[in-house]
Chains A and B, each alone.
Chain A
Amino acid sequence: MMISCEKAADFCNKKQYNEATWVQRMQLSFHLMICKACSGFSSKNTKLTELCSKATFHALPEAEKKKMKARLQEAGSN
């Protein structure tokens, strides 16, 4: 059974977060074999996942943010 491109995109997104079921993954790969547009989307989408996991994010710890907020509020009320 052939799935639509919308469905394929949906399954592809879910796959990026390991949330596509086995059936969905099979249906997706069949669709990708015959749909050029979706294969393009799929490979870019996979690459985006890769980029996001490779990127270095230095997140400020929540405690630091709280401190910043407090100091900002203090400065604002003066």
Chain B
Amino acid sequence: MRAPPTRPAGTPGGREPEEAEAGTLPLGFEALDRFMPMHVIVAADGLIRRVGPTWLRLRPRGELIGRAFLEVFELRRPTGIQNVTELPNRDGGRFSTAFRKGARGSFKGLAVHLGPEAGLLANLSFGISVLEAVETYDLSAKDFAETDLAVEMLYLVEAKSAAMAESKKLNQRLRSAKVAAEEQAFTDTLTGLKNRRAMNHVLMQLRSARIPFGLLHVDLDYFKQVNDTYGHAAGDEVLQSVARVLVSETRREDTVARAGGDEFVLILRDLADVSQLHEIAHRIISSLERPIPYNGKMCRISASVGLTTSEIRPGASIDQLLEDVDGALYASKRAGRGRCTVVELDRLRE
């Protein structure tokens, strides 16, 4: 067959004799089938004369050969073409199309004239719809030209999907691990103090080792006003400042925990002397009453404290101890705030 080159023969400067002399390339249909397994040759009358072998994997021969190209294929671009032989003249011969019937698929292609009044040669490809086509028609590597990167692309898609699936699983596991770690965490993230879980843990340890301890339950006074007046950022600043005070007023072996919102629990190891604990509580209250600067404003708070020791009710459970000290704290609140109340057995017996 004789096909005109797609660009003018001969390059400026270096003349290439063969190309310049002939301007055509003798190429057998068998070779054409292998080079372009998805070619279509359309005669001047617009009927499909010949198709590459891959087309026969898509449609029976009878639905292609001898049919009008525009009956089999619907042109998507360029539009408004009445006679298929005009195709090479528009848009440099580039076109996109789909089957009119059955699984439509989509193709992109390039059409060139085969000579004056001689019809056209079009080479088509699945483009990005190759994934779908391979599935629909169960295509194999043989159905693609040797130089076609379709199989490499399918390989890449599959390899990347496998890697992505692994990545998703890893993310899922990391998320579960994070949740588990948070559940097991012993630190309050805002203040850096121990959290309620750690507090329970320490109390349990001290109890089972029969180590005496003092317990201070500190609840901030007027904290809500700070939050309402200056905002949550100010509130957070105050909580952090409170944490610093509590840590500085206790020893390394003591435990300072944020038990919730503006509640703190101090566990003072080997210190069950009520008068000493009382003194510490008062020192803490007066430290906390020092105004805390925030953005040029002064935040004023105080604290109500409940006090108990492991010795006041030796047999009591930890929950009971916490309940006792909570009661003492509310006694401080009721009595006018900014003070410390010691759990009294007499009162407990009432």
Do A and B pair up? The answer is no
Instruction: List residues of A whose CB falls within 8 A of some B CB.
Output: none
